[in-house]
Structure 1
Amino acid sequence: MLRYMLAVFIGSCSYGVLSTIVKLAYQAGAKTSVVTVGQFLIGWFILFVCYFFSRRKEKISYQDKGKLMLAGIPTGLVGVFYYLALVKVEASLGIILLFQFVWIGIVLDYLFFKRTPDKGKAMSVMILFVGTLMASGIIHGGLIGADLIGIVYGLLAAVSFSLFIFTNASILPALPPVQRSYYMVTGSTLAVLVIFLPSLMNLNGGDSLLSLGTYGIMLGLFGVVIPPFLFAYGMPKIGATLGSILGSAELPVAVGLSMFVLGERVTVIQWIGVVIIFIGIIFPNLYKRR
């Protein structure tokens, strides 16, 4: 059991590293288009190699391939909006905005499927609201200098992530993980290329290739390759409750790295807010076990 728990924990921490890598890339002069396209292109190539040499492959129709590729588009949009947000806001605030996907997912569930949230989910939304107020710094004026466009991008990333969760849970879940990931990442990569193609055509070739090689490999590994494999390995063994708890490790990792690596100021109140958000995420799963 320990190795499955460790796999999910490491996968979650991998996601938490992304915002810091992106901020370092920006400090080095990399553009959002290069960072985002680099992550998905390199991640796609690694998955292609894994898929090509994989022995577990199922024959699926072109229609199913198309469904998987469409389901992967929200993943690409998460990268686009999240990385655009990080241009405008600090990494510690960016991850707080992204984690609003929890209550946004509950709202989408009601809008699309008319499923009324139970008491556990309703309590979770209230806990998340309080935690977000504290973690974002709004209580002590921490948002006064924050860019409104950056906040909007962060919330759009959260909406995209909620859509990804919906599609990921319902489309061909029994397909081998490598094969499924390959087609979904193909869809997200194509979406990112279409969005950023005009920007890429205006970049300096040498600088772009340097940024692509330096940061694209790290982002591709930590954002596209490592987490899906580790989650596919560990999640079925440990269950949804423990999985959600370990999966929430992304939040403190991202905030901690923004503080210690990037030198961003994170107050005690904001750390308390992070803990409250963590509680809000795991609360519905603990409530179900009663």
Structure 2
Amino acid sequence: MKVWMYPLLIVIGAASYGILSTIIKLAITDGFTASEAVTSQYYTGFLLALLIYVIVHRGVPKFKGSFPVMMAGLFTAITGTVYGKSVEYMPASLAVVLLFQFTWIGMLYECVATRRLPKKSEVVSLLFLFGGTILAAGLIDADISGIPWQGWAWGIAAAFSFAAFVMANQKPVAGMSVVTRLLLMSFYASIVITFLQSPEIVWNGKLGEGLWWYGLILGVFGIVLPIFLFSVGVPKVGAGISSILSAVELPVAIMASMLLLGEHLTGLQFVGIFLVLFGMTLPAMLNRFAWKTKQRLRKDKS
């Protein structure tokens, strides 16, 4: 696989996360709770992962332990739980802004783990991302005084948890295929969700009332696609850059809420989305410029 494909996988995986808050809001509008929607997401995601495993490996899976995969599954479940809670207290666009703080938190995690300072390109990129976030979410002219503190707390908790998920995905497991990793991670996450959310949807008839449809969408875009793509891309790209590339989640979430929930998009929000996308691609552009400069200096010396 070409080098540029790995960052693209991260972008696609993060973009799939962007529609989750809107789908959960639609499920709530249809009479389901956020907890029921999140539970259907993880249960359906596990069943889809199991189906993929059986088709690819043509056998019964062995649920062996692996600490990085277990931790990734744990943080996946925690992120879904606390993110669903934040959506209950605030608009979808604001909830995703709080989740979006994982960009600098993920950079902080990697710097601590590798005992290094952030690169200049990373710092500049985060500044663009932060400024674009404020504009894209419409926070300048929005009245946020009525939002309870629980919403803010759940949203920030989701950011820390998602950054930990990206960090846990950074380390590949020797001898474990991506399909097996997807299955195990979704399995561990489903176990955690059983204790944190609403397992009663399996027997109370809610799935037959239409919840299965939301579970299918959430399972594909919230479990199967992102876990699979992150498992392939993050070990090659690194947690820090992966966090920056995952910034695409914000503009996707805002566009989804505009198209499906009828939320209005202002000119400032368009500018904010542009800044986010620019900040996301800035490290790659700066690294490319530095590489060309080195090549030119080598030619001049020769």
Normalised by the length of structure 1, the TM-score is 0.82
1:36 to 2:35 alignment: no
Per the alignment, residue 160 of structure 2 pairs with 159
1:49-128 equivalence runs, <5 A? 49-55=51-57, 62-64=64-66, 66-128=67-129
Per the alignment, residue 259 of structure 1 pairs with 258
Q: Is the 8 A contact 2:137 2:254 kept in 1?
A: no
5+ residue gaps, structure 1: none
Distance 1:53 1:209, change over 3 A: same
Q: Deviations over 1:208-242 (max 9, x none)?
A: 65253131111112211234445667x59x978x9
Q: Give the whole-Å Cα distance in 2 for the aligned partners of 1:38 and 1:60.
A: 24
Q: Is the 8 A contact 1:101 1:159 kept in 2?
A: yes
The amino acid of 1:36's aligned partner reads: V
Distance 1:56 1:117, change over 3 A: farther
Per the alignment, residue 14 of structure 1 pairs with 16
Q: Give the whole-Å Cα distance in 1 for the aligned partners of 2:242 and 2:47.
A: 28
Distance 1:176 1:252, change over 3 A: same
Q: Give the whole-Å Cα distance in 1 for the aligned partners of 2:86 and 2:254.
A: 15
Distance 1:154 1:211, change over 3 A: farther
Q: Is the 8 A contact 1:128 1:281 kept in 2?
A: yes
Mean Cα deviation higher: 96-105 or 66-75: 66-75
Distance 1:173 1:267, change over 3 A: farther
Q: Is the 8 A contact 1:68 1:171 kept in 2?
A: no
Q: Deviations over 1:105-162 (max 9, x none)?
A: 1222234443211111221232223223323333224433434322221221111111
Q: Is the 8 A contact 1:13 1:250 kept in 2?
A: yes
The amino acid of 2:35's aligned partner reads: S
Mean Cα deviation higher: 273-282 or 155-164: 273-282
Q: Is the 8 A contact 1:244 1:282 kept in 2?
A: no
Q: Give the whole-Å Cα distance in 2 for the aligned partners of 1:122 and 1:193.
A: 39
Mean Cα deviation higher: 257-266 or 145-154: 145-154
The amino acid of 1:262's aligned partner reads: L
Mean Cα deviation higher: 112-121 or 215-224: 112-121
Q: Secondary structure at the match of 1:54?
A: helix
Q: Is the 8 A contact 1:134 1:269 kept in 2?
A: yes
The amino acid of 1:14's aligned partner reads: S
TM-aligned CA deviation for residue 172 of structure 1: 0.9
Q: Is the 8 A contact 1:81 1:157 kept in 2?
A: yes
Count residues in correspondence: 283
1:149 to 2:154 alignment: no
5+ residue gaps, structure 2: 291-302
Mark the structure with the bigger radius of gyration.
2
Per the alignment, residue 222 of structure 1 pairs with 221
Per the alignment, residue 279 of structure 1 pairs with 278
The amino acid of 2:259's aligned partner reads: F
Q: Is the 8 A contact 2:68 2:168 kept in 1?
A: no
Q: Secondary structure at the match of 1:151?
A: helix
Per the alignment, residue 134 of structure 1 pairs with 135
Q: Give the whole-Å Cα distance in 2 for the aligned partners of 1:61 and 1:12.
A: 27
Q: Secondary structure at the match of 2:176?
A: coil
Normalised by the length of structure 2, the TM-score is 0.79
Q: Give the whole-Å Cα distance in 1 for the aligned partners of 2:201 and 2:188.
A: 24
Mean Cα deviation higher: 146-155 or 9-18: 9-18
Per the alignment, residue 295 of structure 2 pairs with none
Q: Give the whole-Å Cα distance in 1 for the aligned partners of 2:124 and 2:254.
A: 24
Q: Is the 8 A contact 1:14 1:222 kept in 2?
A: yes
